[in-house]
Amino acid sequence: MAHLALSEFQALRIAVLTISDTRTPATDGSGQTLVDSLQAAGHILHDRALVPDDIWQIRARLCAWIADAQVQVVLLTGGTGFTARDNTPQAVEPLLDKRVEGFGELFRQVSLAQIGTSTIQSRALAGLSNGTLVCCLPGSPGACRTGWDEILHKQLDCRTTPCNFVPHLKQLPEQALAACGSRA
């Protein structure tokens, strides 16, 4: 699987979607945490949006990004709990071609040290759809930081061995050219 790593960093185009009935762009700490983290890592913020916790609005925004040839990753924050208005998993799962079962499992494992057994109430999940990695994280800045620092930072870096998600994502024309001859 080491052949799935590249020797030079490849910036990905990432969209961030916050799901919340109460936040505004000015109070969206979770979305801002993800934006700050992805940009600090050298990735490109393609777009950012905030929608209410409504299955159809979540799907509409997510479908547009999945269909966009420029979006390689979508990070969602919020709506992964158990309240009546937490609908992110129900909105996202039917749109996935393949689930990344280990994402939610690993997220809950690394969260255990920070929030204890409350981690079982997270329905964090991820999957691939049309060459786009879709990751659903809880709606707190701390959970977003944990998801980025402990999982996504490495898995969205093409240099991570023995494998990472970059080879499974839709490639932009400039990335395909850069990848020729750059395989480690």
- Note the pLDDT tens digit of each residue in 18-73: 999 999 999 999 999 999 999 999 999 999 999 999 999 999 999 999 999 999 99
What's the pLDDT band for 174 if we cut at 50, 70, 90? confident
CA 118 to CA 182: how far, in whole Å? 43
Contact 11, 43 (CB under 8 A): yes
Q: Looking at residues 119-135, what average pLDDT do you find?
A: 95
Relative to beta strand 44-51, strand 98-99 is unpaired
- Residue 67's pLDDT is 98
At 173 the pLDDT is 75
Domains and CATH numbers, the chain: 9-179 (3.40.980.10)
Across 106-123, average pLDDT? 91
* Residue range 65-100, pLDDT digits in tens: 999 999 999 999 999 999 888 999 999 999 999 999
List Cβ neighbours of 92 (8 Å cut-off, separation of 6 or more): 58, 59, 62, 76, 125, 127, 134, 136
Alpha helices per DSSP H over 26-172: 29-40, 55-67, 88-92, 101-115, 141-147, 153-155
Residue found by looking up tokens 């093409």 in the block: 158
At 1, is the pLDDT very low, low, confident or very high (cuts 50, 70, 90)? very low
Is the pLDDT at 132 greater than 90, yes or no? yes
Tokens 């750059």 locate to: 182
Confidence at residue 5, expressed as pLDDT on a 0 to 100 scale: 65
Cis peptide before 167 (omega within 30 of 0): no
CA-CA-CA-CA dihedral for 172, 177, 182, 184, to nearest 10: 40
Structure letter (DSSP) for residue 72: -
pLDDT of residue 2: 45
Higher pLDDT, 176 or 167: 167
